[in-house]
Amino acid sequence: MKERQFYMVRDDVLSESMQKTLEAKSLLDRGKVKTVAEAAEKVGLSRSAFYKYRDGIFPFHTMIKEKIITLSINLEDRSGALSSLLTIVASVGCNVLTINQTIPLQGRANVTLTIETNGLRGEINELLSTLNRMEAVERVEVIGTGA
């Protein structure tokens, strides 16, 4: 299967149907209407056009905001190290989705941490730098991102 490609375009180059689809999705998300039929009617769009575009067009802030990141972290085997790491992640507004940790070998374990960054206060690079500065952390790298 071919990998999906994404493009960022200005709103003034979107077709009228695409713009109206975004308006209809916003009405639904904010609870201003209850059904797709209501939303489509309110913005002057056919339901078929709404369904054609709804899964393929998103406001830019939504794509950035709803990001999921998977980190690989080499962590020294010491009491409280993982707890301290998770405290930092939570303190910047991230939500931990999964934690996988290997059995420590030669005093080190690998932790794979998947976090949701919807509430992230600051930049992801700041979080990575903070984690890298932890005494028990040897390396942090992003191994996956998604929405």
pLDDT band at 75 (very low <50, low <70, confident <90, very high): very high
Q: What is the pLDDT of residues 83-139, one digit of tens each?
A: 999 999 999 999 999 999 999 999 999 999 999 988 888 888 899 999 999 999 999
pTM score, whole prediction: 0.56
Residue 2 has pLDDT above 80, yes or no: no
How much is the pLDDT for 4? 65
Pick the residue with more confidence: 49 or 143? 49
3-state secondary structure 35-82: CHHHHHHHHCCCHHHHHHHCCCCCCHHHHHHCCEEEEEEEEECCCCHH
**Residue 97 tokens, joined:** 């989705």
Judged by average pLDDT, the poorest of 36-40, 59-63, 119-123 is 59-63
